[in-house]
Amino acid sequence: MRKYGYGGRLERVICNGCGKKLVVEDGIVREGVISIDHVWDFFSEKDGEVHHLDLCENCYDNFVRELKLPVEVEEQTELL
């Protein structure tokens, strides 16, 4: 869950999984987080809805452990 302040600056990020308040400095999240913004379409029961969520790294790890098929992971060799 994200909270934006004046001028659209990111002020707060709270993990939707565990409720942990993530570190945000100068509008930048300073720890591992995955953000999902998904627009549901015609073939779902949620047609027309947009869902937003944030998971801290620990909640993400717990989530992917429950999946039937593993997440595809590739190494990023050039970091910007």
Q: How does the average pLDDT of the chain come out, rounded?
A: 95
The Cβ of residue 58 has, within 10 Å, a number of other Cβ atoms equal to 13
**Residue 41 placed within a domain:** yes
**Residue 56 placed within a domain:** yes
The pLDDT tens digits of the residues spanning 11-40 come to: 999 999 999 999 999 999 999 999 999 999
By residue range, what is the domain housing residue 25?
2-65
**Residue 77 placed within a domain:** no
pLDDT at residue 80 greater than cutoff 80: no
How many domains does the chain fold into?
Answer: 1
The pLDDT tens digits of the residues spanning 31-68 come to: 999 999 999 999 999 999 999 999 999 999 999 999 99
Q: Report the predicted TM-score, pTM, of the whole model to 2 decimal places.
A: 0.86
Alpha helices in 13-72 (DSSP H): 57-65
